Amino acid sequence: MLTEIQEGKALNPVVRHITQEKINLYAEASGDFNPIHVDESFAAKTPLGGTIAHGMLNLAYVSEMMTSAFGRSWLSGGKLRAKFKESARPGDTLTINGKIDCIEQKDDVSYANCSFECRNQKGEIIVTGEAIIKLSSDKR
Amino acid sequence: MPDKTITYEGLTPGYKFPPAVYELSASFVSKYLKAVDSVDDGFVPPLAITACAIAAMTKSIPLPPGTIAIHASQELEFFKLMSIGATIECHIGVAQKIARGKMSMLILEIEVFDKSKEKVQSGRATIALPA
């Protein structure tokens, strides 16, 4: 967890390598077997040209970064808004970065407003978004 | 969960899919953690719960075979941590349906409750489809 919660503070990045095996595992766990994720021959014939990772798999890495920074405050008081800009594909290495943009006080409760992005090895943005975490009073 | 009587054209704002019930079993959580390269912290990761809701959602949308549906955006709010073995109920409804040129956007509202009907998480998903 972050020892200091302050504006401008960068969150510890998460780096993950995407493989077809991981996509298949995610399909099995989630029950989402959309062929665009798991059927390589079907996906090759679509405009996407091949399989893509589930958006929620990419978002799971974002949540991992937030959990590592904010612990239970994130798990039972977090809020996020994410846009899936590009698809992550087998072979991609994703790096998730985030930072605390500002800390707001509303009705005696502190909220950390964060921004995050997930980029592939080419620097292309895969996911971008914002998160709000309700902080307990002893965090400041 | 899937409502076999509804068609994609019949999905209009306000339509509610029949709720889907999931057990957050140890084997499900273990599979999920392996898939996302994470470790067991003794609770169910909130995005594992969302994964159930999204799966319920994708199974519910009546699309012609071969249609490519892309998850364009996601909003989520977490209210409550769930323990392994708990049961959740996912409620999904159509919030908006927008046609944009050759694409159609389906905006769905998701609410997840525990056994005692307490809200676990809520969210909104935007799915892009060919019109």
Mean pLDDT, chain B, rounded, equals 89
Nearest 5°: the CA angle A92, B107, A72 is 65
Chain B residue nearest residue A31, CA to CA: B55
Tokens of A58: 């990419």
HSE-CB for B45 with a 13 A CA cutoff: 31
- Is residue A65 a part of any domain in this protein? yes
A3 in helix, strand or coil? coil
pLDDT digits (tens, 9 = 90+) for B98-113: 988 888 999 999 999 9
Minimum distance, in Å, between the CA of residue A6 and any CA atom of chain B? 22
Q: What percent of chain A has pLDDT over 90?
A: 84
* pLDDT at residue B128 greater than cutoff 80: yes
Average pLDDT estimate for A79-107: 96
Instruction: Supply the CATH number for residue A48's domain.
Output: 3.10.129.10
ipTM of the complex: 0.91
Task: Report the distance separating Cα B9 and Cα B62, nearest Å.
Answer: 9
Res B57: pLDDT? 78
Extended beta strands in B2-51, E state? 20-23
Average pLDDT estimate for B47-59: 87
Of the pLDDT bands very low, low, confident and very high (cuts 50, 70, 90), residue B3 is low
Identify residues of B whose CB sits under 8 angstroms from chain A CBs.
28, 31-32, 34-38, 41, 43, 45-48, 50-52, 54-55, 58-59, 66, 68-81
Contact by Cβ (8 Å): A58, A14:
no
* pLDDT at residue A93 greater than cutoff 80: yes
Judged by CB atoms closer than 8 Å, whether chains meet at B78 and A55 is answered as no
Domains of chain B: 20-130 (3.10.129.10)
Of the pLDDT bands very low, low, confident and very high (cuts 50, 70, 90), residue A138 is very low
Contact by Cβ (8 Å): A84, A127:
yes
* pLDDT at residue B9 greater than cutoff 90: no
- Is residue A85 a part of any domain in this protein? yes
Query: Minimal CA–CA distance to B31: which of B14, B45, B15, B13?
Result: B45
Of A32, A48, A80, the CB nearest to B55: A32
Helix axes A20-30, A55-70, angle to 10 degrees: 80
- Is residue A106 a part of any domain in this protein? yes
Of the pLDDT bands very low, low, confident and very high (cuts 50, 70, 90), residue B5 is low
* pLDDT at residue A140 greater than cutoff 70: no
Instruction: Tell which of A20, A32, A64, A134 to mutate to test the B interface (max B CBs under 10 Å).
Output: A32
How many domains does the structure of chain A reveal? 1
Judged by CB atoms closer than 8 Å, whether chains meet at B45 and A67 is answered as yes
Contact by Cβ (8 Å): A41, A63:
no
Bridge partner residues of A115 (DSSP):
A99, A130
Bridge partner residues of B77 (DSSP):
A79, B122
**Domain range spanning residue A102?**
10-139
* pLDDT at residue B97 greater than cutoff 80: yes
Chain B residues whose CB is inside 8 A of the A47 CB are 68
Q: What percent of chain B has pLDDT over 90?
A: 63
Residue A137 DSSP symbol: G
Chain B residues whose CB is inside 8 A of the A42 CB are 66
Mean pLDDT, chain A, rounded, equals 93
Judged by CB atoms closer than 8 Å, whether chains meet at A30 and B80 is answered as no
Of the pLDDT bands very low, low, confident and very high (cuts 50, 70, 90), residue B4 is low
- Is residue A1 a part of any domain in this protein? no
Residue A138 DSSP symbol: G
Burial B59-85 (b: 16+ CB within 10 A, else e): ebbbbeeeebbbbbbbbbbbbbbbebe
